[in-house]
Structure 1
Amino acid sequence: MGESYDAIVIGAGPNGLAAAITLAQAGRSVLVREANATLGGSCRSAELTLPGFIHDICSTVQALAIASPFLSALPLAEHGLELVHPKASFAHPLDDGQAGVVYPSLEETAATLGRDGAAWKKLFGPLVRDWKKLAPALLGPLPPVPRHPIALAHFGLQALRSARSLAESWFSGEHAKGLFAGVAAHSIVPLEWAGTSAFGLVLGTSGHAGGWPVARGGSQKLADALASILRSLGGRIETGARVENIDELPPARVILCDVTARQLLRLAGHKLPEGYKKTLQAFRYGPGVHKVDWALSEPIPWKAPGCRDAGTIHLGGSFDEIASAERAPWEGRYSDKPYVLLVQYPFEPSRAPAGKHTAWAYCHVPHGGDLDVTDRIESQLERFAPGFKDTILARGVMTPSELERHNANLIGGDITGGANMFSQILARPVLGLNPYRTPVKGLYLCSSSTPPGGGVHGMCGHNAARMALRHELR
């Protein structure tokens, strides 16, 4: 406790580690305190089913990691990270035995969408072309003057719409509508709400422009690589070091908290002014997720051949079915036929013993709800992959409360650090050009409760650290 630091970071998830690396790169002394025995936050891996089967506890697909202006600039490969790409980023099967599939090639993708193929190319072509201009703007803090206003304006015209509005205006067939619904449903809000099309556009574009890879050996490898970079820069990490109150920390000029809005109240509520506390108290969390991991005897027997090419599969049928399923948790209901997000690894054999496989899936459920819906998830798998249940060797189930026990940032099973309502995209958690800086001098929020929100991109931490360097650590 006698040591002092330029900065202390609470939480060793990707955002906390990104903040610490940014500060260490600037020559500042940094200490990271992590409550769990293993660093990584939601970017961790473990044997959750059987020995030798590696599962990711939460985050798996690293689409935003390679899109991130910060993470993509780090020498992650030199510190042990290898990314593995499936042939296709994601797929969406329907009951007719065919699937819309997003490949790197727009032409190959269009060929899976029949009469809507040309419309898909027309919608995504300009976004793919401008992706290197768009990604820094969409993942960074809101600049006073955009560097690429025309590209952003083109994106914004479509992004402000609801996913339903965009899909119905651009596509006529169920395959393209369903394909867009599946990727837009990563927003975890009803697809009729404004701004939900942005999630489909960003993630869909990333599927073409950079792909949806996974880390060889598990997502823990990404967290370990970030920690290795930080240590190489002189940063210090303490695990098993829970912080209950910021007053118990060693002296530091800046404290950055990779925690959600509610947890910041617990850590520093006694120092925060009442107005700011009320804003944090009003910050809303979204539905939880119910997750199932499987050890499998063989690859998933998909009816639609295109699903065998993709790492991520979105299950739920038509746009209307998915939209109905996604409204249910917001109304406190469990859908009988939930939208299911599944990741499989036949292209990444290091995660299972020879000849065996792993996969996981989750569906969205009411916030904090602990009803076991494993059977509903597996029924959706059987619907599109008959015989799937016969391949299961073992399963591991995590309800929203169990996910929160793994990572305290997953409040009620909310994996995005707060609901992605349009109002909370603009004000996350407060409205302003510097939402990372709290009214307490030297205290910053650097989690997914700040822009640009959820996902493994590190930009919340990086942006917060840049603000701290500008205002407190010049």
Structure 2
Amino acid sequence: MLAKRDYDAIIVGSGPNGLAAAITMQQAGLCVLLVEGKDTIGGGLRTAELTLPGFKHDICSAIHPLAVNSPFFSKLPLHQYGLEFIYPEYAAAHPLDDGTSAVLRQSLELTAKDLGKDELAYKKLIKPLKDDWQKILPDALAPLQLPQYPLALAKFGLKALPSAEWIAKRYFKTEKAKGLWAGMAAHSMQPLDKPVTSAVALMLLLAAHDKGWPIPKGGSQTIADALAAHFINLGGKIETSLMVNSLKQLPSSHAVLFDVGPQQLLQIAGHKLSSLYSWQLERYRYGMGVYKIDWALDGAVPFTAEACHKAGTVHLGGTLNDIAASEKAAWKGHVAAKPFVLLAQQSLFDDTRAPQGKHTLWGYCHMPKGNTQNMVQQIESQVERFAPGFRERILAKHIMNAKQMQDYNPNYIGGDINGGVQDIAQLFTRPVLRASPYRTSAKGLYICSASTPPGGGVHGMCGYHAAKRALKDVFNLKPAL
């Protein structure tokens, strides 16, 4: 029988993974405290008036295909706490210089048909996986383990393991299809000639063809607020404005789960960790950073391609070769003259984001880690390239370079919003190679951030799997869900 402590479990950090871990532990009947360093919860799920009054901007994450596909979040009654998702007509658009645009729709058939000569190739690549999506998803969003559906996961792996460039050359002939694919793969934040970059592209495409890429009404903060409200309703407790730098700051407990990266874990609990484990954490690799701009606009972005006006997400980068060059430059420490830019147009579909007749725009490009170079000119030139007259509609802007992203969230080392490189060496072995990636070398201490499998994204599965491990190790319990 466990000795009496102030709490059964403490969760440090209130990002989506910390909230998922807290809910999982609380559902099991434990007494759980969630601690957050800032005065508001959310981690990468925060929304604020960054530019002008009445303009609500998502500070980090904006579009949430994995939130609605998450095997854990989908089982929670979050709609009861005000969470509402809005689905743009098109998940994403990828404009080209000739005024046309590739379009990612929920319908696989219509997406493929729009690709012309590559219609059959797109179906050949995606349809077999779409048919098995519900079998693939739980294993793809889990640590390395015996899969529930080995054949389905094997079919996915055969297409996910190659580089995005190899898949593009193997399947597609047109610049439209190659560009659409490259934009998806660039979310991996790696050069497109690296293995496993196809995995991210496939996950995003399959998510779009299943439930779409939704926007949370009112901002990404509403996801965090709904998760927190459910946690509190279950009996959990949240304490904000407590930046944890030492274990001594925490009340007593049987287990502590850290929604922090390896560097922060070393700072907080390094004295409790073995020298081997600490050495492994010190060798953990972080990837590219980001340069982010939020704009307050006098009107919608004047895209030349009509499809862009119906898309929640717009990828700006042109051809596969252009995007590949941009990502490789940032990876090697150089700044691209024409960076790949990711845009989100929340206010086109959510009228709570801006005053009537006005709009918000969210965008970023990938940068060398920790880089502080001003990228406003390069990013806005890319928008202007596909939307002439864009600059005339800017009322105000808010910028965050890679260093400022880390200052805002210590988990974003060098501006890396993925919590570390998700390449073949760190895909399932993040943060270290162990039987369980969530269990540290110290009894009762666990890591549950995006630096653990399955990595970045708003899905909560890192937190859920870490909590599942802690429940078994410390309390001999199984998750309620």
Give the TM-score of the pair, scaled to structure 2. Answer: 0.97
1:95 partnered with 2:105: no
Give the Cα–Cα distance (whole angstroms) in 2 for the partners of residues 393 and 223 of structure 1: 29
Query: Map of 1:431-442 to 2, 5 A cutoff?
Result: 431-442=433-444
Question: Which piece of structure 1 moves more, 213-222 or 422-431?
Answer: 422-431
Give the Cα–Cα distance (whole angstroms) in 1 for the partners of residues 223 and 5 of structure 2: 29
Query: Map of 1:408-447 to 2, 5 A cutoff?
Result: 408-447=410-449
What do residues 12-42 of structure 1 show as CA deviations (whole Å, max 9, x unaligned)? 1110010000000000110011000110001
Shift of residue 142 of structure 1? 2.4
Shift of residue 175 of structure 1? 0.5
Is the Cα contact below 8 Å between 2:144 and 2:428 reproduced in 1? Answer: no
Give the Cα–Cα distance (whole angstroms) in 2 for the partners of residues 331 and 143 of structure 1: 33
Query: Map of 1:217-296 to 2, 5 A cutoff?
Result: 217-296=218-297
Give the Cα–Cα distance (whole angstroms) in 1 for the partners of residues 32 and 383 of structure 2: 46
Shift of residue 419 of structure 1? 1.1
- For 2:479, the equivalent position in structure 1 comes to none
- For 1:84, the equivalent position in structure 2 comes to 86
Three-state SS of the structure 1 residue aligned to 2:465 is: helix
Three-state SS of the structure 2 residue aligned to 1:153 is: helix
Which of residues 360, 363, 367 in structure 2 aligns to 1:361? 363
Give the TM-score of the pair, scaled to structure 1. Answer: 0.98
Is the Cα contact below 8 Å between 1:90 and 1:314 reproduced in 2? Answer: yes
Question: Which piece of structure 1 moves more, 415-424 or 439-448?
Answer: 415-424
What do residues 435-464 of structure 1 show as CA deviations (whole Å, max 9, x unaligned)? 000010000000000000000000000000
Specify every segment of 5 or more residues in structure 2 that has no aligned partner in the other structure, as ranges. Answer: 477-481
User: Which 4+ residue blocks in structure 1 deviate beyond 2 angstroms?
Assistant: 141-144
Three-state SS of the structure 2 residue aligned to 1:284 is: coil
Query: Map of 1:55-66 to 2, 5 A cutoff?
Result: 55-66=57-68
Amino acid at match of 2:17: N
Question: Which piece of structure 1 moves more, 173-182 or 132-141?
Answer: 132-141
- For 2:461, the equivalent position in structure 1 comes to 459
Give the Cα–Cα distance (whole angstroms) in 1 for the partners of residues 5 and 37 of structure 2: 20
- For 1:374, the equivalent position in structure 2 comes to 376
Shift of residue 143 of structure 1? 2.4
What do residues 396-434 of structure 1 show as CA deviations (whole Å, max 9, x unaligned)? 111112222221111111000011221011310112341
Shift of residue 247 of structure 1? 2.8
- For 1:388, the equivalent position in structure 2 comes to 390
Give the Cα–Cα distance (whole angstroms) in 2 for the partners of residues 72 and 143 of structure 1: 22
Give the Cα–Cα distance (whole angstroms) in 2 for the partners of residues 366 and 167 of structure 1: 25
Specify every segment of 5 or more residues in structure 1 that has no aligned partner in the other structure, as ranges. Answer: none
Amino acid at match of 1:94: L
Question: Which piece of structure 1 moves more, 109-118 or 355-364?
Answer: 109-118
Amino acid at match of 2:178: K
Q: Please report the RMSD computed on the Cα atoms of aligned residues, expressed in angstroms.
A: 1.0
Query: Map of 1:317-328 to 2, 5 A cutoff?
Result: 317-328=318-329
Amino acid at match of 2:30: R
Give the Cα–Cα distance (whole angstroms) in 1 for the partners of residues 131 and 353 of structure 2: 34
Is the Cα contact below 8 Å between 1:428 and 1:449 reproduced in 2? Answer: yes
Amino acid at match of 2:94: H
Give the Cα–Cα distance (whole angstroms) in 1 for the partners of residues 85 and 144 of structure 2: 30
- For 2:162, the equivalent position in structure 1 comes to 161
Is the Cα contact below 8 Å between 2:261 and 2:449 reproduced in 1? Answer: yes
Shift of residue 3 of structure 1? 6.5
| Aligned length, in residue pairs | 472
Shift of residue 387 of structure 1? 0.8
Give the Cα–Cα distance (whole angstroms) in 1 for the partners of residues 128 and 92 of structure 2: 20
Give the Cα–Cα distance (whole angstroms) in 1 for the partners of residues 247 and 212 of structure 2: 40
1:16 partnered with 2:18: yes
Three-state SS of the structure 1 residue aligned to 2:360 is: strand
- For 2:351, the equivalent position in structure 1 comes to 349
What do residues 126-184 of structure 1 show as CA deviations (whole Å, max 9, x unaligned)? 2222111111111122223x221111111111101000000110000100000000000
Give the Cα–Cα distance (whole angstroms) in 1 for the partners of residues 333 and 355 of structure 2: 40
Is the Cα contact below 8 Å between 2:5 and 2:254 reproduced in 1? Answer: no
What do residues 49-70 of structure 1 show as CA deviations (whole Å, max 9, x unaligned)? 1000000000111111011100
Give the Cα–Cα distance (whole angstroms) in 1 for the partners of residues 130 and 434 of structure 2: 29
Three-state SS of the structure 1 residue aligned to 2:342 is: strand
- For 2:180, the equivalent position in structure 1 comes to 179
Shift of residue 107 of structure 1? 1.8
Give the Cα–Cα distance (whole angstroms) in 2 for the partners of residues 424 and 323 of structure 1: 21
- For 1:334, the equivalent position in structure 2 comes to 335
Is the Cα contact below 8 Å between 1:258 and 1:447 reproduced in 2? Answer: yes
Give the Cα–Cα distance (whole angstroms) in 2 for the partners of residues 53 and 426 of structure 1: 39
